[in-house]
Copies of this chain bind each other. A is one copy, B any other.
């Protein structure tokens, strides 16, 4: 089963650094999300059930480590969107943002560089 948005917030903390205890996760995420301890615990348990994290005992508490990698998650999410909205192809997506004037100077420069690199490794 897919991991939800609230669950992804917890994963984000673990992707930045792991292993971490529930308390540490709350400390990092609580301010922004205004979550209670119990909320984080619930999310962690759901992530455990989904095999997205692993827990190892550390004295009285658990330390959590991601099993699902950020790469895998990003891959799933973006492929889903791409398939649903752009026929699975990247260019139309970029064209969309281009039409909406949502390409920054920096984006354009980086895209150019990216294409250049693709060229270089071409042979």
Contacts and interface: CB of A to CB of B under 8 A. Distances in A.
Interface string A13-46: 0000000000000000000000000000000000
Interface residues on A, range: 20 to 34
A96 interface: yes
User: Chain A's interface: helix, strand, loop or mixed, by majority?
Assistant: helix
Given A94-B90, A96-B74, A115 B111 contact: yes
Contact of A108 (B79, B100, B112, B118): B118
A118 B89 contact: no
A98 B118 contact: yes
A80 to B, nearest CB: 9
A81 B34 CA distance: 22
8 contacts: A78-B81, A81-B81, A89-B104, A89-B106, A91-B111, A93-B93, A98-B118, A111-B115
